[in-house]
């Protein structure tokens, strides 16, 4: 029986909940069909709470208010995607309610859960019932009812879980998209996993153990495969996911007029007024209108606009164990320890206490003064070959990561700070990492940080080659950003299951040619698909083709393929070269310039 909740107890509960969500994130991804079937809800929520759990583990305090403040700060900083931002608002609401309390009783705990649900509702401009909002509200209501007759925090949380799960089971009756796909709401399921993990700690005295690999779900709990295929791409009403931050001209200005203006132009709107800045998220067909309204309120930073229809077309052919928006992005992160790929055992997470300092033991000799150079470079990459290429081009720090394990703002921030340069250029090399990189740049005060919005490794390489140490930082930013547009990227991979996309029937192990976000070539032979895919990239301006071969391709095979292509394009005087990328899953990544 627990009558008092202090900071240490609350931290252990939340860490247990975060681990429980992490262990089941792929299951939540598989449920994700609403509001957009992009299959990343579990991954985004897990990354958000995992960042919080990591901070809580290193900053434990007996003070409840300090623990709650740490929760709020870390979730907002580590929030990923729409679901992660909404989740951060739950913890923000809980933190505000517990402000100033060193401990609380069961009644106050229940009220804090209610405050979190209300904060999340307030953040969403058009709340929809049958989502995480409904589940969290009903769970909080269960806690409130129990607290009226019991002062045991365990009983209060148990009641919250029971009522929340009942609400979760009803979500298909509230949302037609869920009913059609035969699943419950993904965000609601994610929140219940957090609460169930917290309850586990109260009942067992130990946290849910974070697993290296995710367990196979029980047959009765396994969701239908490819739930996202239950949604037709054409039925996505609002095409563009538009996200940015507004730095207000006047800190005291109201955002009500801005909300009213853009609300009719889309859905899934989140406008979070955080004093001097406003965080904005909306799905719309008119991003230009939204941006025009935003500049009336302040200056925009961290702008990101994604075409969700393209994302959905790609997702329904990808392995549902990976929350991926594009096949290229899967390749970029498939060898990360936290990747959902099952072909190889996942690496064991390293405990922070076991990490050795980079500098090693102190030398008895005098330290040389640290040399501060003019320009430095940070890049996100996966594959030993790609890492080596980028280092040869001058990259100082390589961050491993990708779609299923996006580097957080904090990860990128740490890499930037390790580079001893007055100006640091950051290359995300993945569209879902661009915003995190921009947020990291805003947090650096002791040097200039410029994010070059690269979406693929070939784009990054082209930009790095365009760099000139004789130019200013602004001049290089302009030159390198222009260089991105001169590169067209594509990739050759394989189908992980039978599926059908845009009327094309695809069988497991078919070879796929992916251009942008679309599957443009399907075949049985890797060399044939490579040739046809490369043909689709060629135009009258093409001068160079570079084949980056993956870890499953022999060098001799890649060189033979390049020779054949060079002979084919000899009349066009197109130069074809081969380089080792070392990327998993994708046989080839192609760069055309």
Domain contains 560? yes
Tokens linked to 422: 């007055």
> Does 453 lie in the same domain as 537?
no
Does one domain contain both 48 and 193?
yes
Same domain? For 462 and 570 the reply is no
pLDDT of residue 231: 52
Structural domain tally of the chain?
A: 4
255 shares its domain with 400? no
Distance CA(529)–CA(383), nearest Å, equals 22
Judge whether 67 lies within some domain. yes
Contact 412, 399 (CB under 8 A): yes
pLDDT for the residue numbered 15 = 93
Predicted local confidence at residue 361, as pLDDT: 39
Q: Please indicate, yes or no, whether residues 472 and 583 belong to a single structural domain of this protein.
A: no
pLDDT, tens digit only, all 593 positions of the chain: 678 999 999 999 999 999 999 999 888 988 877 666 656 788 878 888 887 888 888 777 899 999 988 888 777 666 676 777 788 889 989 999 999 999 999 999 999 999 999 998 887 767 889 999 999 999 999 999 999 999 999 999 999 999 999 999 999 999 888 888 888 999 999 999 999 999 999 999 999 998 865 454 444 444 444 454 555 556 677 888 787 778 888 877 888 888 889 988 888 787 877 667 777 878 888 888 999 999 999 988 867 787 877 766 665 555 443 443 444 334 333 333 333 333 332 333 323 222 233 333 334 444 556 678 999 999 998 888 888 889 888 899 999 875 456 788 888 999 999 999 999 999 998 877 888 888 889 888 889 999 999 988 999 999 998 898 888 999 999 999 999 998 999 989 888 788 877 778 888 889 998 887 788 899 999 999 999 999 999 888 888 899 999 889 999 999 999 999 988 988 888 888 899 888 877 899 999 98
- Three-state helix/strand/coil letters over 12-23: HHHHHHHHHHHH
Q: How far is CA 495 from CA 14, 359, 500, 501, 547, in A?
A: 38, 44, 11, 12, 20
Residue 453 forms part of a structural domain: yes
Specify the pLDDT at position 348.
30
Residues 300, 260, single domain; the answer is yes
In three-state secondary structure terms, 304 is strand
| Residue that has been written with the tokens 């089941």 in this structure | 24
Contact status, residue 34 vs residue 178, Cβ threshold 8 Å: yes
CB 457 within 8 A of CB 589: yes
Residue 340 included in any domain: no
List the structure tokens of 309.
Answer: 């229809």
pLDDT at 338: 35
**Residue-number span of the structural domain to which 110 is assigned:** 5-213
Q: Give a yes or no: residue 20 inside a domain.
A: yes
ω before 35 within 30° of 0 (cis)? yes
> What is the C-alpha to C-alpha distance for residues 559 and 567, in angstroms, rounded to an integer?
12
CATH value at residue 270: 3.30.70.980
Q: How far, rounded to the nearest angstrom, does the alpha carbon of residue 585 sit from its chain's CA centroid?
A: 20
- Output the domain CATH number for residue 465: 3.40.50.10170
126 plus 247 within the same structural domain: no
Phi, psi of 52 (to 5 degrees): -65, -45
Closest CA to 490 of 451, 531, 449, 450: 531
Q: Is 357 a domain residue?
A: no
Q: Report if pTM > 0.75.
A: no
Domain-embedded: residue 348: no
Where does a domain end: 259, 287, 307? 307
Residues 558 and 459 in one domain: no
How is residue 75 written in tokens? 């979730």
Assign 3-class secondary structure to 468-530: CCCCCHHHHHHHHHHHHCCCEEEEEEECCCCEEECCEEECCCCEEEEECCEEEEEECCHHHHH
Q: What is the CATH number of the domain that holds 11?
A: 1.25.40.340
Same domain, 493 and 445: no
Distance from chain centroid for Cα 252: 32
Final residue of a structural domain among 424, 458, 478: 478
Check whether residue 463 and residue 495 sit in a common domain: no
State whether residue 545 is helix, strand or coil. Answer: strand
Sign of CA dihedral 203, 205, 207, 212: negative
Tell which of 213, 244, 262 closes a domain. Answer: 213
Examine the domain organization and report whether 504 and 462 are in the same domain.
no
- Answer yes or no: do 209 and 247 share one domain: no
Enter the tokens of residue 509.
């192990």
Phi, psi of 222 (to 5 degrees): -70, 125
Q: How far is CA 400 from CA 328, 355, 441, 503, in A?
A: 15, 17, 18, 36
Instruction: Please indicate, yes or no, if residue 164 is contained in any of the structural domains.
Output: yes
């Amino acid at each position: 029986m627990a009558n008092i909740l202090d900071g240490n107890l609350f931290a252990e509960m939340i860490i247990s909940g975060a681990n429980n969500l992490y262990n089941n994130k792929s299951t939540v991804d598989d449920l994700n069909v609403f509001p957009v079937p992009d299959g990343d809800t579990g991954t985004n929520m897990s990354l958000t709470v995992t960042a919080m759990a990591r901070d809580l583990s290193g900053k434990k305090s007996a003070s409840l208010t300090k623990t709650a403040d740490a929760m709020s700060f870390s979730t907002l900083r580590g929030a990923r995607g729409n679901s992660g931002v909404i989740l951060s608002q739950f913890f923000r609401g809980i933190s505000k309610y517990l402000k100033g309390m060193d401990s609380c009783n069961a009644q106050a705990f229940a009220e804090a859960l209610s405050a979190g649900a209300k904060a999340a509702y307030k953040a969403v401009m058009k709340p929809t019932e049958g989502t995480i909002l409904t589940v969290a509200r009903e769970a909080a209501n269960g806690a409130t009812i129990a607290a009226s007759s019991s002062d045991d925090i365990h009983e209060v949380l148990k009641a919250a879980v029971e009522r929340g799960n009942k609400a979760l089971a009803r979500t298909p009756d509230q949302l037609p998209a869920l009913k059609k796909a035969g699943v419950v709401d993904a965000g609601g399921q994610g929140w219940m996993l957090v609460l169930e993990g917290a309850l586990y700690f109260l009942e067992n005295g130990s946290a849910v153990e974070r697993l290296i690999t995710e367990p196979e779900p029980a047959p009765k709990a396994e969701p239908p495969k490819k739930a996202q295929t239950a949604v037709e791409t054409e039925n996505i009403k609002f095409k563009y996911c538009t996200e940015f931050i507004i730095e207000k001209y006047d800190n005291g200005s109201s955002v009500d007029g801005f909300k009213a203006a853009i609300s009719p132009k889309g859905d899934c709107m989140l406008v979070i007024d955080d004093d001097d800045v406003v965080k904005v998220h909306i799905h719309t067909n008119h991003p230009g209108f939204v941006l025009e309204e935003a500049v009336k309120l302040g200056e925009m930073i961290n702008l990101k606009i994604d075409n969700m229809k393209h994302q959905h077309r790609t997702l329904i052919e990808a392995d549902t164990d990976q929350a991926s928006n594009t096949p290229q992005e899967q390749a970029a992160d498939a060898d990360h320890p936290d990747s959902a790929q099952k072909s190889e055992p996942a690496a064991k997470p390293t405990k922070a206490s076991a990490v050795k300092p980079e500098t090693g033991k102190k030398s008895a000799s005098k330290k040389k003064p640290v040399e501060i150079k003019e320009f430095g470079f940070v890049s996100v990459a996966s594959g030993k070959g790609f890492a080596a290429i980028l280092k040869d081009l001058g990259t100082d720090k390589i961050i491993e990561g990708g779609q299923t394990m996006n580097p957080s703002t904090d990860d990128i921030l740490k890499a930037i700070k390790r580079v001893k340069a007055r100006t640091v250029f950051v290359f995300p090399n993945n569209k879902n990492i661009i915003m995190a990189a921009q947020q990291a740049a805003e947090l650096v005060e002791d040097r200039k940080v410029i994010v070059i919005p690269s979406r693929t490794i070939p784009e990054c390489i082209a930009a790095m080659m365009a760099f000139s140490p004789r130019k200013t930082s602004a001049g290089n930013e302009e030159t390198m950003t222009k260089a991105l547009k001169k590169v067209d990227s594509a990739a050759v991979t394989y189908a992980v299951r039978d599926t059908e996309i845009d009327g094309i029937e695809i069988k497991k192990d078919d070879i796929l040619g992916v251009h942008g976000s679309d599957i443009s070539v399907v075949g049985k032979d890797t060399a044939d698909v490579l040739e046809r895919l490369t043909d689709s990239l060629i135009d009258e301006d093409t001068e160079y083709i570079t084949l980056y071969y993956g870890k499953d391709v022999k060098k001799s095979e890649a060189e033979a393929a390049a020779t054949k292509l060079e002979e084919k394009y000899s009349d066009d005087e197109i130069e074809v070269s081969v380089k080792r990328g070392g990327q998993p899953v994708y046989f080839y990544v192609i760069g055309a310039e």
